[in-house]
Structure 1
Amino acid sequence: MKVTKKSKEQLIAELVESEEKYRIQVEIATDAVFLETIEGRILECNTAGAKMFGYTNEEIVGLTIADLVPEEFAKTLPKIITEKDTTHGKFVSRISKKKDGTIFPTEIATKLINIGDKPRLVVYIRDITERKRT
């Protein structure tokens, strides 16, 4: 088995390349992709996600999942999503709400991950309005 030593510069370059690949994949996705705290506060969002909900990227970061659903549904959201609910992933159909108050049907997939020592939710949201029309 051959073991090679990589320089600090090589490791940094590989890390930067890996990060860039991730960013490109998320940014070109046609579905909304969110990175959230375990409580549902949005930390990051791709352009498709901001557009889907009628916000700019700057506006949507910092909102919570409760801001993106009708008020009557927001009241039923649990305060904290437990690890048990999302460790293996969760897939649900829900009504979502745009910035202007328009509601629309969505499919939502969530997965709990750890970034460093912090639990985070990766959330994929697909607008299924066209599918519901047919």
Structure 2
Amino acid sequence: MNRRHFLLSTAAAGLTATVLPGTAFASETLDYAPGLIEKELSAGKTVFVDYAASWCGTCARQERVINALRGANPAYDQAMVFVRVDWDDYRQHEVTTSRKIPRRSTLLVLKGNQELGRVVAGTSEAQIKSLMDTGLQAGS
């Protein structure tokens, strides 16, 4: 019994050491608070906004694609600030209504007072990469 416990513990520790460093592939995504997007835009930054809900399958797929792209190309994190707007908290808020966000799983790239691109409910890597590349070009 002790041998089995030791082997399982050792295997788990090795897996943790292998997996955890790889999870730090993307920089931080900021949780929206009123005024955050405007503050970043006023500072001249390009902002990638993700309107998402924790229970939304489409949002989860988008998040996986975004994180994979950010992990593969660190330039995205240098060019843009990533902000997640919780749909359940901010669906009726000005951050959503002023930009005419039709639903959760909407992604935007903003620069200054302009919307540079939008993806609504799209989950393809090519579509999301195209939007992120727009932000990358604007942020460079």
Give the alignment's TM-score, normalised by structure 2.
0.34
Q: Which has the higher strand share?
A: 1
Q: Which has the higher helix share?
A: 2
Give the alignment's TM-score, normalised by structure 1.
0.35
RCO comparison, higher one (Cα < 8 Å, 6+)? 2
